[in-house]
């Protein structure tokens, strides 16, 4: 399995949380340990890319912009 960089992990978390997910679901779908997930959720929350609503994490509008721009950059590199 290829190593993922930080941006890939962030995009995976934001995509998973797009419609709202609990921490455990995000952890499994993003293939992260609990400590890694805590680090990234804290980072994303401080950056305004994700929000926590009673244990359900949702991607914010700013996070959706990140996903869109990240996918556009990846598309350019694949060509």
In-domain check, residue 44: yes
Total-model pTM: 0.91
Surface-to-core class of residue 17, CB atoms within 10 Å of its CB (0-12 exposed, 13-18 middle, 19+ buried): buried
CA distances from 24 to 13, 28, 59 (A): 12, 6, 16
Surface-to-core class of residue 5, CB atoms within 10 Å of its CB (0-12 exposed, 13-18 middle, 19+ buried): exposed
In-domain check, residue 41: yes
In-domain check, residue 35: yes
In-domain check, residue 30: yes
In-domain check, residue 1: no
pLDDT for 79: 78
In-domain check, residue 55: yes
Total number of domains constituting the chain: 1
In-domain check, residue 11: yes
Running along the chain, 79 residues long, what does each successive block of 10 average in pLDDT? 85 97 97 97 98 97 97 88
Structural domain for 24, as ranges: 6-78
pLDDT for 1: 56
Q: What CATH code is carried by the domain that includes residue 66?
A: 1.10.10.10
Q: Return the percent helix, strand and coil in the chain, to nearest 5.
A: 60, 15, 25
């Amino acid at each position: 399995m290829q190593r993922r960089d930080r941006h890939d992990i962030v995009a995976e978390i934001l995509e998973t949380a797009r419609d709202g997910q609990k921490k455990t679901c995000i952890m499994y779908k993003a293939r992260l340990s609990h400590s890694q997930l805590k680090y990234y959720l804290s980072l994303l929350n401080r950056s305004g890319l994700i929000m926590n609503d009673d244990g359900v994490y949702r991607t914010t509008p700013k996070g959706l912009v990140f996903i869109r721009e990240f996918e556009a950059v990846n598309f350019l590199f694949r060509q």
